[in-house]
Each structure stands twice: as C-alpha cells, then as structure tokens.
C-alpha cells in the first residue's frame, strides 16, 4: 500500500494523523521446519493470516522472531517473503537492532534494499551504553538509510532505558518517527508524547489499553498473533471514545496475555498459540530457547478458551 493510501486510511478511520507503522502490528514469530531450517512457505502463510485477522503492520526479525539465532541471510529471506506476501496491504518493518552500530547499519541498509517500509532499532543490549552513546547510535542508524525508524525501548532486556531527554533529542531527527515502548513507565511515555511528535506503540500487551488512552497510536503485539481482530476493535473503541468497550476487550484478553507472556518466554508461547490454530506446522524454536511442553500447550489452550480465542 502506498504512503498516500495509508494516510487516507488513517484519515477515514478516525486514526491519529501520525501512525507511520499502522495501528495493530504484530512482532511476528519466524516459522521453522522440523529440522530448524526456515519455513518460508509458513512465513508467508502466517503473514497472510495476520493481515486477514486485522493487522496493518508486521515486524519481522525482532526478538519474537528469534533474531539472535537467525543469520543476516535468513533475516533477508524472511523479510522478502513477508513483503511479497503482504507488503501491499500492511507496513512491513524490519528489526535490525544489535549491540554493534556498524552491524546494525549494515542490516538497515540490507532491509532498505529488500524493500522494507521501516526499521525497528532496539537499544543496544548487554554493553549498557550511556545516554550520549545511545543518541549517537540511533542517529547513526537513522542516517544510514532513507527509511523511517521506530526506536525500541525495553530496558528489562537491554539493561538501559532510553531516557526522556534522550528521546526528546532523538525526535529532532527527521527519520526517527516512532517508539515501541516496553519501558513500563506510562508517565514517562506520556511526557515524551506531550513533548514530541513521536508516534508511540505499546510494546507490552499488558499495557496496550493504558498506552492507547495516554495517546499511543497503536501496538506492536505478541498476543496479536491470535487476537489481532480484538486489538483492532480496541483501537477503534479508544478512537471513538468508547472506553467501556475498550476496557471490556482488555479484560477479556487478560487470560491470553497471561498465557502467552507470563508462563514462559513469549516467542515460545506465541509459536505454540499459532500452532494450536493450525497456522504453522510446528512450534520449533532454536536453542537456547526450547519448545513449549505438552503441559504448557494444554494450559495455553485453556487460557485462550477463557479469553474467547479458542
């Protein structure tokens, strides 16, 4: 879909004016074959299913896509498969963040060459850079291509938050346009939204409704693998001011969020959930992750049923 059509869709749906990566995006798992190789047919089928269910954005190559265990060549193949399948109907964003600025820039340039619509750049992890280093890292990546950038702020995994003042500075860069927010600090996020034009996306399904009511334009969801339609309804309800409807959806989905995001690692359970729905052929993950056990899958089935998603 062209930029003009995305803008028109936003204008006619009551969406905020600046939703550069759609409203309901999913951090997509990477389907594997039984032997651990890429399942590109399954990748395309999953992307098709997500868009059919209501997603207008897909993030590939993120942590939920097991980016630490996929090679650069594999990331490119997955990105191209998703672009070919749904690139005309959804924003396809490439996760390119690493803890090496040079490598991240190379991945960003490869994503642009493949045709990605945008980049997701996580805070460099493990090395715990100071705020000035974060500023220089993100601006270097944003300057490496012509693509719009979504920063990914998830200090529980990276060890370092992107501070409010750093985000305000980064917002001055023309291509830094959005934040995937998994900081867990709604007040801090509200302040950045108040002081900048950055489009905020909830990166924590437990806080999707909270962030939407504070001005977020959408979400980058894991639970959206099985609840995209419900999250699209939530977004529309908030847009229209129907907060009781939005709250009802939030409460209904609590068991699904609990089942996918709290019982073990999220990518493990997201794969189990889409396998349960028959969208992918298995729940294979790459080490150091391990597949969900039969007992975990049985509990997940019960969680999804309680949420009305069975």
Beta carbons within 8 Å of 103's beta carbon, 6+ residues apart: none
Respond yes or no: is residue 49 known to be catalytic: no
Which of these, 24, 87, 31, lies nearest to 57 by C-alpha position? 24
Pick the catalytic residue: 135, 152, 200, 231?
152
Q: Which residues contact 58 (CB under 8 A, 6 or more apart)?
A: 25, 26, 28, 47, 50, 51, 82, 86, 90, 91, 92, 93
Dihedral of the alpha carbons of 199, 205, 207, 209, in degrees to the nearest 10? 80
Distance CA 277, CA 31 (A): 14
* Known binding-site residue numbers: 64, 220
Residue with tokens 């890292």: 137
Instruction: Answer yes or no: 183 catalytic.
Output: no
**Active-site annotation holder among 75, 125, 135, 180:** 180
Binding residues for pyruvate: 64, 220
Buried/exposed 17-48: b ≥16 CB within 10 Å, e otherwise: eebbbbbbbbbbbbbbeeeeebbbebbbbbbe
| Count of Cβ atoms closer than 10 Å to residue 266 Cβ | 19
Active site residues: 152, 180
């Amino acid at each position: 879909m062209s930029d003009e059509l995305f803008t028109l869709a936003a204008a006619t749906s009551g969406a905020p004016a600046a939703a550069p990566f759609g409203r309901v995006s999913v951090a997509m798992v990477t389907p594997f074959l039984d032997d651990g190789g890429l399942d590109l047919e399954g990748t395309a089928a999953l992307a098709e299913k997500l868009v059919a269910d209501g997603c207008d954005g897909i993030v590939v190559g993120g942590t939920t896509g097991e980016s630490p265990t996929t090679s650069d060549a594999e990331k490119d193949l997955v990105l191209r498969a998703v672009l070919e399948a749904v690139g005309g109907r959804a924003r396809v964003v490439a996760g390119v963040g690493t803890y090496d600025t040079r490598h991240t820039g190379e991945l960003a340039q490869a994503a642009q060459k493949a045709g990605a619509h945008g980049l997701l750049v996580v805070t460099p992890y493990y090395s715990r850079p100071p705020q000035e280093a974060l500023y220089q890292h993100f601006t270097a990546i944003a300057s490496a291509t012509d693509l719009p950038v979504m920063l990914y702020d998830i200090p529980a995994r990276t060890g370092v938050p992107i501070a409010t003042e750093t985000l305000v500075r980064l917002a001055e860069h023309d291509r830094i346009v959005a934040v995937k927010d998994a900081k867990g600090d709604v007040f801090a996020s509200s302040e950045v939204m108040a002081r900048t034009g950055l489009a905020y996306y909830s990166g924590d399904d437990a806080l999707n409704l909270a962030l939407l009511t504070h001005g977020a334009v959408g979400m980058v969801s894991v639970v959206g693998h099985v609840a995209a339609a419900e999250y699209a309804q939530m977004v529309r309800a908030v847009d229209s001011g129907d907060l009781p409807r939005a709250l009802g959806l939030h409460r209904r989905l609590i068991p699904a969020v609990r089942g996918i995001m709290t019982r073990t690692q999220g990518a493990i359970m997201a794969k189990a959930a889409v396998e349960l729905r028959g969208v992918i052929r298995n729940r294979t993950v790459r080490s150091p992750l391990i597949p969900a056990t039969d007992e975990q899958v049985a509990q997940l089935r019960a969680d999804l049923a309680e949420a009305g998603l069975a």
